[in-house]
Amino acid sequence: MNKFEAMKAEKDGLDVWPDLLRHAAEDTPIEEIGEDELNRMKWYGVFHRPQRPGTFMLRLRLTGGALTSLQMREIAAIARELGHGTVDITTRQNIQMRDLRLSQIPGVLERLSNVGVHSLQTGMDNIRNFIGCPLAGIDGMELFDSTPLLNAIAEAHQMAGKAMSNLPRKLNVSVAGCRDDCGHAQTQDIGFVPATTDLDGRRVAGFNVLVGGALGGTSPRLATALDVFLKPEEVVPFFLALVGVYRDNGPRDIRTKARLKWLIAEWGEERLRAAVEARMEAPLRRAGIDERLQIAGDHLGIHPQRQVGMNYVGLHIPVGRVTSDELDELARLAEQYGAGELRLTIDQNVVVPHVPDSALSALLAEPLLAKLRPNPPAVWRSLVACTGNDYCHFSLIDTKTHAFNLATDLERKGIQVPRGTRIHVSGCVHACGKHHVGDIGLQGANIRLGERVEEAADVWVGGKLGENARLATKVLTNVHVEDLPVLVEALVRQRFQQTVPLSVMQLLEHTNTLEAVE
């Protein structure tokens, strides 16, 4: 039994709450709180940050990335008063708050609860934030609005309590009824994608199911079809059954081989399907017709909604980091020009829905939109960066600063990056920046230059979701961060058949920091 399984066997993560309250009330020094207790606090979304001793990250739960202007204001106020005045929008349509003290956590959670936000089971071996389409209910092309279903799954998960609080490892889940695969289902442990089938002589809309996607670690995998079609009302029972099968049968001995993909590697999809059928005590239909048409765009810019005379406006958040003042302004814009609602995207941006035609000009003239641009150059539009080493002890590099500087350099040079080009930056092998599915992916590394250890990156190219999906291929290792702008410029030119004055290797041959992958 590895140490994490021993920890959970000793005490369920949900049972740490009284201890968390006690440590907060007594302001217990971090060095006096055991490692197991600190890990159990992650069941409540509370993460100690070792590189900033004594401070904690709080990971919220925002199902489908939806929140109200009231919730946004409270998050902004907490970050301003108790944190460092910024929060991160994540690739799970979520928010992470930084630099909180343990003594502050109970009060923060109470304030968030008062506006309908919580952080329960957002870390460790739990089901993480449920993601969906940020345009659910307003996309004129969607098969159906999956919002009620997404909320039903989230509620079923929370109602399950300890029945779902001790999984072999985490589960990532997406549910989207749109045709654009906004949940990037192929990257999820469980992905519900829109589909249709004929039942009793009529066409019925529902979901096909993908399983086993996971990008972190040394064996990334894209999700594969389970050959199942579900009517919407069958999704929650199926979800509970599948999670139960994984909980009871998933491998636990080796921590790095405990995700759902490893159970599938052992069993195969057909056996997993049969096990879910047995738990449901009902046969499962074979998969229907996949109704996905494309992989989601960046959701930026001005677009008409299905509601006549209404629009949604997608605003770009550079590398996903936003200040309290900007959050307050976003809340004001949502109230003044929309319906007091905001939606986060998996590309770390924000959508303001329900903007009337008559209000568009005034919204676009708002000063905030000069920074959070609705139509930034293409190099910014699908740029994703994980937290980085300023707040994550796993990350080997400052991902957000390097990603920001990289895009700024390419924009300044006027490099024409084709729209839709995905540049993804991860700080480590955990791949929170999803570099394995980027057109260009960077994974943090460290190199030694003389007596100094410097930041670098391994380079991946060719990741793709959707039809003919593939993981990116590693082509270069240990590229010094100072060389990344010229390298990415060359890759963009090569990849999209623009004029290339020199090859990538020639551009970098004098840096002495580069190793080519055979």
Distance CA 45, CA 41 (A): 7
Instruction: List all residues 6 or more positions away from 99 whose beta carbon is below 8 Å from its beta carbon.
Output: 52, 55, 56, 82, 83, 84
Q: Are 401 and 321 in contact (CB under 8 A)?
A: no
Q: Which residues carry out catalysis?
A: 59, 169-170, 427, 432-433
Matching residue, tokens 């930041």: 455
Distance CA 445, CA 391 (A): 16
CA separation, residue 86 to residues 76, 96, 170, 192, 424 (Å): 8, 9, 27, 33, 21
* Torsion angle defined by CA atoms of residues 406, 408, 409 and 413, in that order, rounded to the nearest 10 degrees: 140
The tokens of 44 are what? 């409540």
207-244 CB burial, b ≥16 within 10 A, e <16: bbbbbbbbbbeeebbbbebbebbbebebbbebbbbbbb
Count CA atoms within 13 Å of residue 326 on its CB side: 21
> Nearest-CA neighbor of 123 among 189, 57, 178?
57
Largest CA distance in the chain: 73
